[in-house]
Amino acid sequence: RERVNYVNASIEAKERGIRVIETRDASMRDYSGSIHLSATGSMGKHSVTGALLNDGEIHITSIDDFPINVPPTHYMLFTLHRDMPGIIGKIGSQLGSFNVNIASMQVGRKIVRGDAVMVLSLDDPLPEGVLTEIMKVPGIRDAHTVTL
């Protein structure tokens, strides 16, 4: 199978059952382009939006409609949690106890004390067992790692 590229992306998407909707929005002056992906499966519906900034940098700009602004990195940790005092510190302490260093952090929320999404860029992959411990933190609803 041929590698997916800019020229054949729409054909490949159609063959794989992926619906592509292309729109143009002149109000998005800070972006050269953006992409919104949504998927529905056994774990529900999820979406992510990314943008190519005018300076050529790529950013994740929303996750499940939570506003966020973070460049993707090699090792990332994503959490969905209650927006409440102490939860970010508890996650940081959990990571520190496993000698995991946080390179950057971004939190997005829709309302005060509602749900929030946190994206952590990490220097190294998560060691075995860290995700299990993070899921035990009160207020954490979900946590996933991504390696790019």
> How much is the pLDDT for 147?
93
| pTM of the predicted model over 0.75 | yes
Q: How far is CA 110 from CA 9, 103, 105, 142, in A?
A: 33, 24, 17, 17
Give the total residue count for the chain.
148
Tell me the CATH number for domain 9-147.
3.30.70.260
Q: What is the pLDDT of residues 6-33, one digit of tens each?
A: 788 888 888 888 877 776 666 666 767 7
Mean pLDDT calculated for residue range 97-112: 96
As a whole number of angstroms, the distance between CA 147 and CA 142 comes to 17
Q: What are the strands of the beta sheet with 140-147, ordered from one edge?
A: 102-109, 115-122, 75-82, 140-147
Q: Which residue has the higher pLDDT, 118 or 40?
A: 118
> How much is the pLDDT for 3?
81
**Helices within the chain (DSSP H only):** 9-15, 87-97, 130-135
- pLDDT of residue 5 exceeding 90: no
Chain centroid to Cα 100, Å, comes to: 19
Q: What is the pLDDT of residues 37-94, one digit of tens each?
A: 888 888 889 899 998 888 888 999 999 999 999 999 999 999 999 999 999 999 999 9
Per-domain residue ranges for the chain?
Answer: 9-147
